[in-house]
A and B are shown apart, each in its own frame.
Chain A
Amino acid sequence: MNVIEIKGLKKIYQETAVEVKAVNGIDLNVAQGEFTAIVGPSGSGKTTLLNLIGGLDTPTEGQVIVDGTDLGKLSSSQLIDFRLHNIGFVFQSYNLIPVLTAEENVEFIMHLQGVHKTKRQQRAKSLLTAVGLGDRINSRPAKLSGGQQQRVAVARALASHPKFVLADEPTANLDSKSTETLLEIMLKLNKEEGVTFVFSTHDQRVVQKARRVVTVEDGKVVSDIVKKNGHLHNESSETVSI
């Protein structure tokens, strides 16, 4: 079952005299439980694509359908509400709320959802334990390392029981050990709890762990490779050698 359906998606910026086609006609489906990496050189349109999928930006043309809802038909306020209940976000620079503790950061989303205090405290603790930070729940972001902050961000993204998690270069600011730990956690959540991850990355270590790699260049998908039983299968053409 597809949780994300993208049809003929275009995003054209006209900030100067020159027209920039950041996303130039992308068709893409993401099924429930996928662990998908979107790769491509800088300026290829990865972040714009993620913003469009996450309802942070509106397309110039085409549709983004999340779990049957066409995001283009939602008002700005409805989009905020939709994101709150359906999409988890992990950002490159962690972007935790600095004045809240790790637990409060995770709880924050559930608080916005109106979850009861006891329930949200329980879930925040269990998520932080799941990402290996059960002993740092009362620490504020400034007291945590980059890797730890990103793990809190993952826990925060999962707090609302989202349909999928969008991560924009989640390992870009992490050292190799933190990257490995984070990837392990994300893969574990993907395997054991069926959380769908869609993330953009430049990092080959992340690409290697991904089970589907979508390559974007000049706003278009140039390859879409799925790893199945040790083989790489190009969704847009035929199976290729491993």
Chain B
Amino acid sequence: MNRIFILAWRNIWRNKRRTIITIASVFFAILLALVMRSMQLGSYGHMIDTIVHSYTGHIQLHANGYWKDKTLDNSFEGSDSLTKVIESVEGISLVVPRLESFALASFSSKTKGVMVIGVDPAQENKLTDLSEKVVDGKWLTSETNGTALGQTLAKYLGVDIGDTLVLISVGYQGMSAAGVFRVSAILKLASPEMDNSFVFVPLQKAQDFYSAPGRLTSYAMLIDNNQKLAEEASDLQKILGKSHFEVMTWEQMMAQMMQQIEADNVSGLFMLAILYMIVGFGIFGTLLMMISERKRELAVMIAVGMKKTRLALVIASEVLFITLVGLCAGVAAAFPLIMYYYHHPVWLTGQTAEAMLNMGFDPVMPFALQSDFFIAQSLVILIIAFVAGIYPVISVFRITPSKDLRR
């Protein structure tokens, strides 16, 4: 076996220039693929993180039918026992209760339709980190009768800290709802839509306002690992049953965003496929040349007693060496680059940054650093090399010493 590898290793360096060009093609392909993929997955991760931590959480629990018809009549009775059941599901790390509904918000002569979100201020802060988004005033506490609203909305209504905001709506089961709330905090929310319409009030005050004591419209949850999203949601749904509750993942709730990510992901993979196809043909061409110019030599080896299977192993080892050298060099070059940008993401400026801000995302291009895409891209290159090597290896079995020795 050792001799086969020695033979293969020396063979690939017979035509140094050609081998270096082939190795370089593998090197640049894997480098480009890893960096591209890291950027793509990094930006998806950032988008998902922004979505999850700005509003939805990873999973939400609603009363059946709430997502289609978001009314307070589709709310459910929240309780400590229900919270404990949810928390008992392995992997769920945070459970946040909410009561949400629409209302008209008035101040002075301005009125605007808003989304009132009743939250447990401490729990909510763990999910959405709203206290860090306060630009004026202080984040809510459970005891205060305060409200926190987006700065665009505050600007529209002309309210300031300490002003009293009037909310009017229809409460649970058609009860009329009216209340006054002192503005405690003005927030800078990432999404322009949220910044222009969200009004946070302590949960109990919201329940009182909507005449819905103890009722909730959702539990938003965080899980430890987004990769296990579907699994966790399914586990929760199984435990709670399907008769009263619907369990939804952020992917289901943000279907449009998910489709955009998927479409972008497919286009990225398509680009990679083209790149790999070019590399595959490059490897194939090199191998074919290596075989055709050595047919006589290979015929001699068979003539003197080398089994064709062993000879095929030599050729397969040559494919493997060329690919592995390019692959290892590519991974070695990509890793520090990705590592650097993972810790120092690229901050965008100008119109691109503005566009991203308008979509509710930070103008940053983060890189992902996950072992899975390193492994996946390396495997893809190895599979391509394997496929490219099939024909040259098969051609070894077609060598006829009596004919090929005459070449």
Contact = CB atoms under 8 A, between A and B. Distances in A.
* A, B assembled together: yes
A83 B120 CA distance: 86
A85 B305 contact: yes
Contacts of B305: 80-81, 83-85, 109, 112-113, 160
A112 B306 contact: yes
Contacts of A81: 305, 307
Contacts, number: 59
Contacts of A85: 305
A112 B305 CA distance: 7
A56 interface: yes
B307 A95 contact: no
A227 to B, nearest CB: 30
Given A95-B296, A99-B10, A99-B11, A83 B304 contact: yes
A113 B304 CA distance: 11
A56 B402 contact: yes
A241 to B, nearest CB: 39
B130 to A, nearest CB: 69
Main secondary structure of the interface of B (DSSP, over half): helix
Contacts of A180: none
A8 interface: no
A97 B297 contact: yes
Nearest to B7: A99
Nearest to B296: A95
A69 B297 CA distance: 28
A156 B14 CA distance: 22
A130 to B, nearest CB: 19
A160 B306 CA distance: 13
A111 B4 CA distance: 10
B304 A156 contact: yes
A80 B402 contact: no
B3 interface: yes
Interface in B293-326: 296-297, 300-308, 310
A77 B307 contact: yes
Contacts of B11: 99
Contacts of B405: 56, 91, 95
A109 B14 contact: no
A35 interface: no
Nearest to B310: A112
A148 B310 CA distance: 28
Nearest to A11: B402
Contacts of A113: 305
Contact of B14 (A80, A98, A112, A160): A98
B179 interface: no
A52 B57 CA distance: 79
Contacts of B401: 51, 56
A80 B297 contact: no
A48 B401 CA distance: 12
Interface string B1-29: 00100010011001000000000000000
Contacts of B310: 112
A54 B307 contact: no
B249 to A, nearest CB: 58
Contacts of A54: 303
A21 B402 CA distance: 16
Interface string A60-90: 0000000000000000010011011100010
A183 interface: no
A80 B14 CA distance: 27
A57 interface: yes
B297 A95 contact: yes
A51 B402 contact: yes
Contact of B303 (A77, A89, A98, A160): A89
Contacts of B308: 77, 80
A100 interface: yes
B3 A109 contact: no
Contacts of B301: 97
B296 A80 contact: no
Contact of A95 (B3, B300, B306, B402): B300
Interface in B117-139: none
A28 to B, nearest CB: 19
Contacts of B7: 97, 99-100
A99 B304 contact: no
Nearest to A57: B402
Most B C-beta atoms less than 10 A away, residue of A56, A77, A81, A160? A56
Interface in A9-64: 48, 51, 54, 56-57
B328 to A, nearest CB: 22
A89 B402 contact: no
Contacts of B3: 108, 111
Interface in A141-169: 156, 160
A50 B306 CA distance: 19
Nearest to B403: A57
Interface string B49-60: 000000000000
A80 B10 CA distance: 24
Most A C-beta atoms less than 10 A away, residue of B7, B301, B307, B402? B402
Given A83-B303, A99-B14, A100-B7, 11 more contacts: A57-B402, A77-B308, A83-B304, A89-B303, A91-B405, A97-B297, A97-B300, A100-B10, A109-B304, A111-B3, A112-B310
Interface of A: 48, 51, 54, 56-57, 77, 80-81, 83-85, 89, 91, 95, 97-100, 108-109, 111-113, 156, 160
10 contacts: A51-B401, A57-B402, A84-B305, A84-B306, A85-B305, A89-B303, A95-B405, A99-B14, A100-B7, A113-B305
